[in-house]
Amino acid sequence: MKTKAWWGALAAALVLGALPAPAALAALAAEPAGWTDTTTGRRIVRVDDSPGNYGLYFNYNPFTPQGDLMIYLTAEGVRVADTRTWQTRSVLKGSVDRLLFAGPKSRNAYYTLRDKAVEEGGPFSVWSVDIDSGKTRKIADLPGGRVMAINADETLLAGVWETAPPPAHIAAQGKRDPVTGSPHYAGTGPDGKPLSFAAAKGKWMAERLAARVPMEMYSVAIATGERKSIHRATDWLNHLKFSPTDPTLLMFCHEGPWHEVDRIWTIRIDGTQLTKIHTRTMAGEIAGHEFWGRDGKTVWYDLQSPRGGVTWLTGRNLSTGEQWRYEVARDQASYHFMQSPDGQMFSGDGGNAGKWISLLKPVQREKPVPGLITPGRLESIRVADLGKHDYTLEPNQHFTPDGKWLVFRSNLEGRPAIYAVELSGVRH
């Protein structure tokens, strides 16, 4: 006997004009567990807690263009979750190196395969899989590094690779745990005692930056697999992200300790118009965790002036030059922020000073004046209690395209799992 959720999935597919194969519908998992958060009063659903579950990084899109499905990874391969019922099904079985993102135009998921004998950072191939049919297609064989971005019209991928290997002791750090998906960092201090996770990561990042490893940023044509060089440097290139509306505009960062780098940059895919987005005006000032606003013209980022001092969620419109700075209270500080689909709210995934998944409403303190930064503050609406979460695992929250849920990853129950918290009733 078919469940109500099964018929709901079928009806949704018919409305969207993208009917999954009968086998896919039959493979829908049982309805996931759900409960009401006793602190916030909001409904939470545990989407998947199977071994090796891995949700995408906060600025990688996991949703189909129609918003009906979310892709994620498990030890068994690629799966999707229905964003209405949170039932899940398998799309692709097998060992996947990295699940990248969902296509902005097609119902494809992009992923990479790497031979188990090849070290992380070495040669790999990039593929796509049709989420409904399961049909796969090889796009290209690549010399190394990582693919990180897909452009707005789904014609290009972009990635980086190290054209010469880093020192062995640096290459050995930062690798992702295959079970938890968290990176590993370890080291000892001047006193010979083991460093904390954060201190070991900071030490490694400083050493990696100082190594001045030569790198190349490249594009890959999805239709043909042709690879072209965009930019070469001995700066540490990372965090590539295309504008969601401009298919030729790419944002990236100079990685490393934030107080030592000019971090946020944009560039055109032909290598022209290399532009620094934020210029430091105070010693020790740091900026990072950059992401595109929904308009595809505004770059948002976390700014501290100086590091450990006043924290701002800062935006800069690249077309008009307008800038905003919303002060972030200590208990609002987050590993990552993200903008809601309608552009009216932000989300934060919290930190040790405030363990919450939150909605953050921007409030301007002054009337905007041309040529000046508009100051403001953030009002918090807490939606999920992460009091038991260990932040060595980043929650990496995502708004569903309809704005009705925030999806995040947490170990709040003692093991990594993917969750969704309902946002109904929130007023802008």
CA distance 149 to 160: 10
Q: Count the domains in the chain.
A: 2
Q: What is the pLDDT of residue 373?
A: 97
The boundaries of the domain holding residue 354 are 322-428
- Establish if 357 belongs to a structural domain: yes
Helical (H) or strand (E) element with 206: helix 197-210
Of 99, 128, 157, which one is at a domain's C-terminal end?
128
- Establish if 247 belongs to a structural domain: no
CA distance 411 to 394: 10
Q: What is the pLDDT of residue 9?
A: 45
DSSP per-residue string spanning 249-285: EEEEEE-S-GGGS--EEEEETTS---EES----STT-
- Establish if 282 belongs to a structural domain: no
**How many other β-carbons are positioned within 10 Å of the β-carbon of residue 212?**
12
Helical (H) or strand (E) element with 6: helix 4-16
DSSP per-residue string spanning 99-160: EEEE-SSSSEEEEEE--TTSPTTS-EEEEEEETTT--EEEEEEESSSEEEEE-TTS-EEEEE
Q: What is the pLDDT of residue 113?
A: 96
- Establish if 374 belongs to a structural domain: yes
CA distance 223 to 397: 31
CA distance 225 to 44: 41
Question: Is residue 292 classed as helix, strand or coil in its secondary structure?
Answer: strand
- Establish if 115 belongs to a structural domain: yes
Per-residue pLDDT of the chain (428 residues), as tens digits, is 444 444 444 444 433 344 444 444 445 667 789 999 999 999 999 999 999 999 999 999 999 999 999 999 999 999 999 999 999 999 999 999 999 999 999 999 999 999 988 887 889 999 999 999 999 999 999 999 999 999 999 999 999 999 988 877 777 766 666 555 566 677 788 888 887 877 887 787 888 888 889 999 999 999 999 999 999 999 999 999 999 999 999 999 999 888 889 999 999 999 999 999 999 999 999 999 999 999 999 999 999 999 999 999 999 999 999 999 999 999 999 999 999 999 999 999 999 999 999 999 999 999 999 999 999 999 999 999 999 999 989 999 999 999 999 999 999 999 999 999 999 876 55
Of 110, 128, 146, which one is at a domain's C-terminal end?
128
Residue 287: phi and psi, rounded to 5, are -140, 145
- Establish if 107 belongs to a structural domain: yes
- Establish if 33 belongs to a structural domain: no
- Establish if 106 belongs to a structural domain: yes
Of 103, 128, 153, which one is at a domain's C-terminal end?
128
91 contacts 80 by C-beta, under 8 angstroms: yes
Q: How many CA atoms lie within 13 A of 111 on its CB side?
A: 28
